[in-house]
Structure 1
Amino acid sequence: MKTTNYFDNFASQKHPEVQREWIGRVLADPVKKEVQTNNRISYWGNIEEAEGRVLRVITLEDGETVHNAFFDRNFYKRQQRGEEPQ
């Protein structure tokens, strides 16, 4: 898995509970994918092993290089209200 220096030196330390396997699964089969205004790409996926929480993975514009990964409470709440895909 390709990662940015930001991910290696900051994001992975800030969110040590996020497993790289989960990141790979979200990238391979996201419940939602969205291109941001800065051309980075956000992917969301449910992680059953983490109590069904929603993992958001942000890649560079190549769609492969991971820049950030964290659990997205807001997406999860919208999902529970039926406003986002399951």
Structure 2
Amino acid sequence: MKTCVAEGQHVEDLYFPPRRLFGNFTERVVAERRGQLEVYLQQLIVLCSDLEGSPLCGVPPSRTTLAAFSPFFQRGVFETSRYSTS
């Protein structure tokens, strides 16, 4: 079983891709930002799985643990979006 630490890297230290004001709905821009957001979420999950007191601490990430961690991961939250990932 994984040992969790009380302190570690801060969420603020992770790179969160900025929104673009112009041309932000072209396929290329959407695909690029989606990839950057996926990297951000993967890093966030790893970071939180290492922190003591986190619901992800010491358990492998699954759909159930991620949904309990944040409503963002619950099915249906973004399914009505034009660029749905479901």
- Which band: TM-score by shorter chain? under 0.3
Task: Judging by fraction of residues, say which structure has more helix.
Answer: 2
Q: Which has the larger radius of gyration?
A: 2
TM-score (norm 1): 0.25
Give the TM-score, by structure 2 length: 0.25
